Amino acid sequence: MDYHLTEEQTAIQQLAERFTAEEVTPEAARWDAEHLFPRETLRKAAELGFGAIYTDEATGGIGLGRLEAAIIVEALAYGCPSTAAFISIHNMATWMIGAFGSEDLSRRFVPRLATMEYIASYCLTEPDSGSDAAGLKTRAVRQGDHYLVNGSKAFISGAGENEIYVSMVRTSDDGHRGISCLVIEKDTPGISFGANERKLGWHSQPTAMVMFEDARVPVENLVGREGDGFKIAMAGLDGGRLNIGACSLGGAQRCLDETVNYVKERKQFGRSIAEFQNTQFMLADMATEIAAARSLLHIAALKVNEDAPDKTAFAAMAKLKATESGSRVANDALQLHGGYGYLMDYPIERIVRDLRVHEILEGTSQIMRMIIGRDLLS
């Protein structure tokens, strides 16, 4: 494995870093404090191709690999992990339509999703089924040329704002084989949205419930075939876990960089706290955690891109390592900032809040350990 980025990958990284520095970092604190959804900034990101990063060019994306996607997402998260995660979720939903949908379905939706004229939500989790994804109860019953959908989805990023909802629904009682995937549009009669959830972090994106009450969805909005939903969901999650891990890396790297600058300037006992061995040891551990997590995540991204047999286990390892390391680094950064780290005048507390949920969504840390353990024993 060549651990150097190619010239093209370096150029992509620099493009994403430049965009973040100009369009994201200066506004992120305001988005967080005022709970603003930066739709115009998202569309500017889409102008660079970030609305359909790993969706094939043939269906309207820019056709990059999973490693390039992770590089872009990490760069965006350096400015705002919340907004980077939102772009990641949109990309996952867009890829599902492009990779598994019919030619007509892709033609109808992917080009608008790529420009983020339409923004997509991914609807899997329900009030009573989180980690047990196969236990979902939202039901779609076929009636002629439509499905009649009833049920609800919980913790949906973009709910009420986004135009498209890529939704996992039950079309039969045959366990995970009875799950199908539908593209449901916001203006579909019978769809409604709950109030925005009051969250610890991720304030730059709305999160709410999505409710379906006799929602009539055209049969042609089926992604793949009936019964393919669970397979599509799991395939999407391999990439989604990489990107959430990359979000944690971006936030952690920002915390480390901010902390290095801070400890050089902060003086106690007549000298900068950077001169104390305790500070240096903490910084060393933070940098090592980030480097190790990034290396594992890049290996996992290559495995997902190559469809390697152990891709799912490595994606789980990468998410587990990156998200837990990211939170530790952010927490240590706050500790080294002392009381100032707890203030909203500095970005550290915002990143601590934003990164915490990464250990829960796209599969909790405990589920990641289950996946890895089962792979070892299989």
What residues are labeled active site? 362
Rounded to whole angstroms, the Cα distance separating 342 from 68 reads: 34
Terminal Cα-to-Cα distance of the chain (whole angstroms): 26
**E strands, the chain, in order:** 120-123, 139-143, 146-157, 164-170, 179-185, 191-193, 207-218, 222-223, 267-268, 271-272
Contact 305, 66 (CB under 8 A): yes
Signed CA dihedral, 234, 240, 245, 246: sign only: positive
- Rg from Cα positions in the chain: 21
Contact 207, 196 (CB under 8 A): yes
Q: Which residue has the tokens 């792979």?
A: 375
Rounded to whole angstroms, the Cα distance separating 317 from 293 reads: 9
Residue 69 buriedness (CB in 10 A; 0-12 / 13-18 / 19+): buried
Q: Which residues pair with 216 in a beta bridge?
A: 148
Contact 226, 326 (CB under 8 A): no
Contact 77, 246 (CB under 8 A): yes
Neighbouring CB atoms inside 10 A of 41's CB total: 21
Closest CA to 347 of 18, 2, 17, 33: 33
The residues, any chain, with a CB within 8 Å of residue 237's CB and separated by 6 or more, are: 92, 315, 362, 363
Phi, psi of 246 (to 5 degrees): -65, -35
Q: Give the number of C-alpha atoms closer than 13 A to the C-alpha of residue 178, restricted to the C-beta side.
A: 14
